[in-house]
């Protein structure tokens, strides 16, 4: 197990630049997730670490070793593939022992290690079966066991839960995290699913168009998104387009939907177009005359509602392109479409998104 | 009145039946009668032609040469075709489709043209002999016309395009991620091929090998042209027996032997694949 460092890594495919000068440091034992939409460069980054492709520029360090030019089989990496890539003509025990056999381990040691790993993934009975004879979730765990059999310096996972149904996916998130923590193995995980990223990761790297948009803990990224892209990609958010008109004490004034709202911003913000992000769960229904003084308040009209079991989403038209979404308890939700409403939120809970 | 849909399909069945089954039946049925000379056949059924085939070393040798050249051609076609098919199957650019289209077109160009091209290349002052003599590997022109090597080359020439296409389709079905999984977990390219790619392509390759073998067993043009009248395979001999000797019954016998031999070899191969599959040496 080692830390991984990518320094000024550029990857071009012909004229297309998949990665622009990427700098990334993955700490020893850390579970790091690369999160982003397809084409953002997350899989390219993973494949660069694996050694399936070479960077156009830059260096990749595994521990203290520069592996930029090292072939995949000499990097001592484990990898779980999106389609698991279990060898269909080998038994599950042979699959798990594959890397050990390639590294010339004695037969008895391989058998012992395979047994250990089958216990780790809670499938002690399946060693003699073939991959086609076990379920998708079991194949997934076997792929993980194969990847960690020869203790790898780093474990790479490329959307490993994509093919599973929702319930199983949730179980497997817990399971993968357990295995990772039990082995204390440095892990790079690629996904486009933000829930998955937030459930499992020590740290999340949000990527877009070949660049890192933001990195940090799940809380950090959800609560303080730095860019419009991150705010929009991670969780649901209302983006209120407006204009910075000035300051009011500690607050910046933003004009949106014909109303002045206040935003805390320590570094100030230039006068001009901007965007304020507010999460649906931060918005509340308020009465316009009794809202607390440290609240921003907007007037609107209820145009729709959807019931999601534990909460109800209200769609409120406030005069912007899209209606604002707010989440409230089902018993508090008004039922009449078309009524006028006031919505408000604490000033400190809105985020100014500059780009 | 209700028109039965099946009747609409009937004519094509009849026509195909006449074209494929009846034409062979007439010929094969003739094999059980004696040749009376000048194309006439006797009127009582007899096994005399078959007895002659299996007692005359010339005929037996022809059968052996046919099997040998076909088997060699199949093996070399697969060995030569695999790397090409692999490369095309794993290419990411548009070149793969272009190369594949090129192979398809080349495959369906009439074999006569291709074989004459081959003959020109291999002629005494042709390109290949010039090169071979230029670097001093041979001191006098080497010919492939009129010997078994030539027939094998001709058969390979005939089947190589099909071989590449067949192998391409087999390799395509093996996910690239399996190769990557083997590599990332410590296998060199060579070990990856040995432990993953070849075992997984084996069933498809075996079926491909059979098809190529069958094509070779029945190939006439390339065998005739490169055999140069000196090497006889069964199809060449059948043509000769019909056209030069006008012995329809004997020709029918040769055709029957060829048909049954091919059938038996295929059945044997299928049986062996089943056994391997049951023993889990190859996957379905």
CA dist., res. A261 & res. A272, Å (int)? 15
B244: contact with A, CB 8 A cutoff: no
Identify the pLDDT of residue A268: 63
Report the residue count for chain B: 284
Give residues with Cβ within 8 angstroms of A157, minimum separation 6.
A79, A80, A147, A176, A187, A188, A189, A190
**Mean of pLDDT values over B147-155:** 88
Helix (H, G, I), strand (E, B) or coil at B102: helix
**Mean of pLDDT values over A79-108:** 93
Token couple for B252: 């029918």
Token couple for B125: 């002052």
A350 vs B174, residue with greater confidence: B174
For residue range B47-59, what is the model confidence (pLDDT) as tens digits?
Answer: 888 998 999 899 9
What is the domain count for chain B?
1
- Closest residue to A89, CB basis, from B181, B187, B282: B282
Find out whether A80 and A155 touch, Cβ atoms under 8 Å: yes
| A93, pLDDT greater than 90 | yes
CA dist., res. A307 & res. A285, Å (int)? 17
For residue range A178-236, what is the model confidence (pLDDT) as tens digits?
Answer: 989 988 999 999 999 988 999 999 999 999 999 999 999 999 999 888 888 999 888 88
A86: closest CA of chain B, how far (Å):
7
B192, closest residue in chain A (CA to CA)? A102
Angle of helix B127-134 relative to helix B111-122, nearest 10 degrees? 30
A104: contact with B, CB 8 A cutoff: no
CB distance A85–B177 less than 8 Å?
A: yes
Pick from B94, B178, B186 the residue to mutate for testing the A interface (most A CBs within 10 Å).
Answer: B186
B88: closest CA of chain A, how far (Å):
18
B43 vs A296, residue with greater confidence: A296
SS (H, E, C) chain A: CCCEEEEEEEEEECCEEEEEEEEEEECCCCEEEEECCCCCCHHHHHHHHHCCCCCCEEEEEECCEECCCCCHHHCCEEEECCCCCCCCCCCHHHHHCHHHHHCCCCHHHHHHHHHHHHHHCCCCCCCCCCHHHCCHHHHHHHHHHHHHHCCCCEEEEECCCCCCCHHHHHHHHHHHHHHHHHHCCCEEEEECCHHHHHHHCCEEEEEECCEEEEEECHHHHHHCCCCHHHHHHCCCCEEEEEEEEEEECCEEEEEECCEEEEEECCCCCCCEEEEEEECHHHCEEECCCCCCCCEEEEEEEEEEEEECCCCEEEEEECCCCCCEEEEECHHHCCCCCCCEEEEEEEHHHCEEECC
A77: contact with B, CB 8 A cutoff: yes
CATH number at residue B67: 1.10.3720.10
Q: Single out the residue of B191, B200, B181 nearest to residue A72, CA to CA.
A: B181
Q: Single out the residue of A351, A298, A352, A294 nearest to residue A325, CA to CA.
A: A298
Token couple for B159: 């089947």
For residue range A55-71, what is the model confidence (pLDDT) as tens digits?
Answer: 999 999 998 889 999 99
**Mean of pLDDT values over A11-28:** 91
Confidence of residue A320 (pLDDT cuts 50, 70, 90): confident
For residue range A167-190, what is the model confidence (pLDDT) as tens digits?
Answer: 888 888 998 899 899 889 999 999
Can you list the pairs that A314-321 forms with residues at least 24 positions away whose Cβ atoms lie under 8 Å? A314/A285, A314/A341, A316/A341, A316/A343, A318/A257, A318/A343, A319/A257, A319/A258, A320/A240, A320/A241, A320/A256, A320/A257, A321/A241
Identify the pLDDT of residue B230: 85
| B70, pLDDT greater than 50 | yes
**Mean of pLDDT values over A66-86:** 92
B92: closest CA of chain A, how far (Å):
11
CB distance B181–A77 less than 8 Å?
A: no
CA-based R_g, chain B, Å: 23
Confidence of residue A91 (pLDDT cuts 50, 70, 90): very high
Give residues with Cβ within 8 angstroms of B173, minimum separation 6.
B204
| B3, pLDDT greater than 80 | no
B280 contact residues in A (CB cutoff 8 A) = 89, 130
Structure letter (DSSP) for residue B120? H
B94: contact with A, CB 8 A cutoff: no
Neighbours of A243 (CB within 10 A): 13
A139: closest CA of chain B, how far (Å):
14
CB distance A72–B183 less than 8 Å?
A: yes
For residue range B92-105, what is the model confidence (pLDDT) as tens digits?
Answer: 878 888 998 888 88
CB distance B177–A82 less than 8 Å?
A: yes
B176, closest residue in chain A (CA to CA)? A85
Please check whether residue B256 lies inside any domain of the structure.
yes
Find out whether A283 and A324 touch, Cβ atoms under 8 Å: yes
CA dist., res. A311 & res. A329, Å (int)? 5
Confidence of residue B280 (pLDDT cuts 50, 70, 90): low
A83 contact residues in B (CB cutoff 8 A) = 175, 177
Helix (H) or strand (E) holding B131: helix B127-134
| A309, pLDDT greater than 90 | no
B276 contact residues in A (CB cutoff 8 A) = none
B119 vs A100, residue with greater confidence: A100
CA dist., res. A327 & res. A333, Å (int)? 9
Identify the pLDDT of residue B284: 41
Give residues with Cβ within 8 angstroms of B198, minimum separation 6.
none
Neighbours of B47 (CB within 10 A): 12
**A-B interface: how many C-beta pairs under 8 angstroms?**
71
Identify the pLDDT of residue A337: 84
For residue range A281-308, what is the model confidence (pLDDT) as tens digits?
Answer: 888 888 767 778 888 888 888 998 888 8
Angle of helix B48-55 relative to helix B248-278, nearest 10 degrees? 70
A86 contact residues in B (CB cutoff 8 A) = 181
Domain A236-353 has CATH 3.30.470.20: no
Confidence of residue A355 (pLDDT cuts 50, 70, 90): low
Count of CA atoms in the C-beta half-sphere (13 A) of A248: 13
**Strands of the A351-353 sheet, one edge to the other:** A259-264, A251-256, A238-248, A272-278, A351-353
For residue range B197-223, what is the model confidence (pLDDT) as tens digits?
Answer: 998 998 888 888 999 999 999 888 888
Q: Single out the residue of A221, A251, A253 nearest to residue A237, CA to CA.
A: A221
Instruction: Tell me the average pLDDT of chain B.
Output: 86
A55 vs A247, residue with greater confidence: A55
Token couple for A220: 């950090």
| A163, pLDDT greater than 80 | no
Confidence of residue B267 (pLDDT cuts 50, 70, 90): very high
Find out whether B77 and B159 touch, Cβ atoms under 8 Å: yes
B282, closest residue in chain A (CA to CA)? A89
Give residues with Cβ within 8 angstroms of A140, minimum separation 6.
A80, A84, A160, A161, A164, A172
Lowest mean pLDDT among A95-99, A294-298, A312-316: A294-298
Token couple for A197: 């990223």
Identify the pLDDT of residue B59: 92
CB distance B181–A83 less than 8 Å?
A: no
CB distance B184–A77 less than 8 Å?
A: yes
Token couple for B219: 């190939």
CB distance A73–B180 less than 8 Å?
A: no
**Mean of pLDDT values over A99-120:** 92
Chain B contacts in chain A segment 107-146 (CB below 8 A): 130, 146
Q: Where in chain A is the domain with CATH 3.40.50.300?
A: 4-231
Identify the pLDDT of residue A242: 85
- Closest residue to A102, CB basis, from B185, B280, B283: B185
Range of the domain at B52: 26-278
| A18, pLDDT greater than 70 | yes
| A116, pLDDT greater than 50 | yes
> Are β-strands A284-286 and A340-346 bridged in parallel, bridged antiparallel, or unpaired?
antiparallel
Pick from A49, A76, A78, A88 the residue to mutate for testing the B interface (most B CBs within 10 Å).
Answer: A88
A162: contact with B, CB 8 A cutoff: no
**Mean of pLDDT values over A40-66:** 92
Phi-psi region of B246 (alpha: psi -120 to 50; beta: other; left: phi over 0): left
Burial B128-140 (b: 16+ CB within 10 A, else e): bbeeebeeeeeee
B196, closest residue in chain A (CA to CA)? A87
For residue range A134-144, what is the model confidence (pLDDT) as tens digits?
Answer: 998 899 999 99
Task: Give the residue carrying structure tokens 């006098």.
Answer: B140
For residue range B156-203, what is the model confidence (pLDDT) as tens digits?
Answer: 988 999 999 999 999 999 999 999 999 999 999 999 999 999 989 988
Instruction: Tell me the average pLDDT of chain A.
Output: 88
A85: contact with B, CB 8 A cutoff: yes
Give residues with Cβ within 8 angstroms of B151, minimum separation 6.
B65, B69, B222, B223, B226, B227, B231, B233
B85: closest CA of chain A, how far (Å):
21
What CATH class does A4-231 carry? Answer: alpha beta
B199: contact with A, CB 8 A cutoff: yes
B207: closest CA of chain A, how far (Å):
18
Identify the pLDDT of residue B281: 52
**Residue A263 — φ and ψ, nearest 5°?**
-135, 140
A81, closest residue in chain B (CA to CA)? B177
Q: What is the torsion angle, in degrees rounded to the nearest 10, for the CA atoms of residue A85, residue A87, residue A91 and residue A93?
A: -60
């Amino acid at each position: 197990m080692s830390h991984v460092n990518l320094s000024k890594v550029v990857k071009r495919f012909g004229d297309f630049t998949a990665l622009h000068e990427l700098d990334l440091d993955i700490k020893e034992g850390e579970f790091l997730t690369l999160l982003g939409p397809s084409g953002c460069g997350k899989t390219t980054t993973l494949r660069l670490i694996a050694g399936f492709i070479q960077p156009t520029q830059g260096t990749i360090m595994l521990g203290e070793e520069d592996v930029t030019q090292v072939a995949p089989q000499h990097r001592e990496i484990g990898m779980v593939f999106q389609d698991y890539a279990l060898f269909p003509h080998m038994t599950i025990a042979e699959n798990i022992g594959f890397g050990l056999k390639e590294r010339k381990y004695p037969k008895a040691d391989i058998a012992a290690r395979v047994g250990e790993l089958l216990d780790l993934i809670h499938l002690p009975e399946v060693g003699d079966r073939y991959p086609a004879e076990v379920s998708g979730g079991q194949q997934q765990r076997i792929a993980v066991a194969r990847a960690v059999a020869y203790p790898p310096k780093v474990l790479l996972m490329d959307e490993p839960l994509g093919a599973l149904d929702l319930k199983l996916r949730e179980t497997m998130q817990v399971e993968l995290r357990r295995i990772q923590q039990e082995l204390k193995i440095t892990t790079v995980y690629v996904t486009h699913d933000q829930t998955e990223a937030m459930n499992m990761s020590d740290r999340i790297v949000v990527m877009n168009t070949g660049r890192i948009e933001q990195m940090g803990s799940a809380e950090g990224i959800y609560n303080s998104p730095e860019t419009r892209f991150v705010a929009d990609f991670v969780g649901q958010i209302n983006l209120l387009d407006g204009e910075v008109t000035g300051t009011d004490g500690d607050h910046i004034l933003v004009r949106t939907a014909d109303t002045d709202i206040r935003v805390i911003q320590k570094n100030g913000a230039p006068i001009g177009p901007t965007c304020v992000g507010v999460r649906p769960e931060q918005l509340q229904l308020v009465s316009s005359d009794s809202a607390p003084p440290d609240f921003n308040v907007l007037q609107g009209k209820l145009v729709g509602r959807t019931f999601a079991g534990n909460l109800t989403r209200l769609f409120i038209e406030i005069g912007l392109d899209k209606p604002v979404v707010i989440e409230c308890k089902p018993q508090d939700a008004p039922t009449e479409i078309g009524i006028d409403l006031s919505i408000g939120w604490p000033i400190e809970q809105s985020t100014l998104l500059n780009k | 009145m209700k028109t039965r849909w099946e009747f609409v399909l009937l004519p094509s069945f009849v026509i195909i039946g006449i074209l494929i089954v009846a034409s062979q039946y007439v010929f094969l049925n003739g094999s059980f009668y004696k040749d009376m000379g000048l194309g006439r056949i006797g009127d009582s059924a007899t096994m005399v032609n078959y007895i002659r085939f299996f007692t005359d070393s010339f005929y037996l040798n022809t059968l052996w040469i046919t099997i040998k050249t076909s088997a060699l051609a199949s093996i070399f076609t697969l060995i030569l075709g695999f790397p090409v098919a692999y490369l095309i199957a794993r290419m990411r650019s548009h070149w793969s489709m272009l190369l594949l289209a090129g192979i398809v077109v080349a495959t369906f160009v009439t074999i006569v043209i291709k074989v004459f091209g081959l003959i020109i290349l291999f002629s005494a002052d042709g390109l290949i002999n010039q090169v071979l003599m230029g670097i001093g590997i041979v001191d006098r022109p080497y010919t492939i016309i009129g010997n078994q090597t030539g027939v094998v080359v001709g058969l390979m020439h005939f089947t190589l395009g099909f071989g590449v296409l067949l192998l391409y389709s087999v390799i395509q079905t093996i996910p690239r991620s399996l190769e990557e999984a083997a590599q990332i977990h410590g296998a060199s390219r060579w070990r990856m091929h040995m432990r993953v790619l070849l075992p997984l392509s084996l069933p498809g390759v075996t079926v491909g090998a059979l098809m190529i073998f069958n094509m070779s067993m029945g190939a006439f043009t390339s065998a005739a042209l490169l055999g140069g009248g000196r090497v006889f395979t069964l199809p060449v001999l059948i043509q000769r027996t019909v056209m030069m000797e006008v012995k329809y019954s004997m020709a029918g016998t040769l055709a029957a032997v060829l048909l049954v031999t091919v059938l038996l070899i295929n059945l044997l191969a299928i049986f062996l694949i089943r056994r391997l599959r049951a023993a889990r040496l190859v996957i379905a």
